[in-house]
Structure 1
Amino acid sequence: MALFLLVLVVCLAIFGGMIALLMLSGTPRYRTEPEQLLDLFDKALESRVSETEWNAIIGYPIRHDDYLEGIRRRAQRLMEEHGRHGRATRGKPLLDATGQEEFAALRDHLAAHTDLVKRKQSE
């Protein structure tokens, strides 16, 4: 009987500890930062981005920054209109000529905005 009570107490302590740990731990959050988008855009312009990497970053809504969400949506629209991941596997550019120009302009706009925000924060 003593062995049964000892096992019961140890199991309750383990389960109670696990429940407390899960209750106290916060929800993991993923925040897309401008540097991540710039890196992804550079890879896309060089046709080095995989479809999985693109979908993981661009397919996830950005709720903490409306400006970045707008950039994400524009990039997603550009890829839908001018890009095909199948083209990159055949050795062709990921985006057509119009898409390359628009995507480069979007990337430059994001880089300029990011630099401006960093300068304002440092002042």
Structure 2
Amino acid sequence: MALFLLVLVVCLAIFGSMIALLMLSGTPRYRTEPNHLLELFDKALESRVGETEWNAIIGYPIRHDDYLDGIRRRAQRLMDEHGRHARVTRGKPLLDAIGQEELAALRDHLAAHTSLAEGKQNE
């Protein structure tokens, strides 16, 4: 009987601690930062990005920064207007020529904004 109670108490302690651990741990969150978008835009301009990676980052709303979400929505609009769906797997660029130019301008704008914001933080 003592062995049974010992095993029961140990099992309840293990299960209780696991439930407490799961209840107290937070949900993991993905936070898109400007450098993530810059890397994605660079890959897209060099034709090294797949549609899955593009859609995973561009399709996920950015709620912590309205400016970055605006950039994300512009990039999504570029894909809708100038995207070449399913051609990436055949080695073709993700966007057509006009889309590549607009994405390069968007990338340069984001890089300038990011460097300006980092300069203000360093002051």
Same structural fold, with TM-score higher than 0.5 when normalized by the shorter chain: yes
Please give the alpha-carbon distance, in whole angstroms, between the structure 2 residues aligned to 1:15 and 1:118. 47
The Cα of 1:92 is off from its aligned counterpart by: 2.5
Please give the alpha-carbon distance, in whole angstroms, between the structure 2 residues aligned to 1:26 and 1:93. 39
The Cα of 1:88 is off from its aligned counterpart by: 2.3
The Cα of 1:28 is off from its aligned counterpart by: 1.5
> Which secondary structure does the structure 1 equivalent of 2:62 belong to?
coil
8 Å Cα contact 2:78-2:99 kept in structure 1 = yes
Is 1:28 matched with 2:28? yes
Is 1:15 matched with 2:15? yes
Match of 2:101 in 1: 101
Match of 1:65 in 2: 65
Is 1:46 matched with 2:46? yes
- The alignment of Structure 1 onto Structure 2 pairs a total of residues equal to 123
Deviations 1:98-120 (A, max 9, x none): 11111111111100100110001
Letter in 2 for 1:37: L
TM-score for both structures, normalised by structure 2 = 0.93
Deviations 1:48-68 (A, max 9, x none): 101221122111110100000
Please give the alpha-carbon distance, in whole angstroms, between the structure 2 residues aligned to 1:91 and 1:54. 15
Please give the alpha-carbon distance, in whole angstroms, between the structure 2 residues aligned to 1:66 and 1:23. 31
Match of 2:115 in 1: 115
> Which secondary structure does the structure 1 equivalent of 2:16 belong to?
helix
User: How big is the alpha-carbon RMSD for the aligned residues of Structure 1 and Structure 2?
Assistant: 1.2
Q: List gaps (5 residues or longer) in structure 2.
A: none
> Which secondary structure does the structure 2 equivalent of 1:37 belong to?
helix
The Cα of 1:41 is off from its aligned counterpart by: 0.3
Work out the percentage of aligned pairs sharing the same amino acid: 87
8 Å Cα contact 2:51-2:88 kept in structure 1 = no
Letter in 2 for 1:88: V
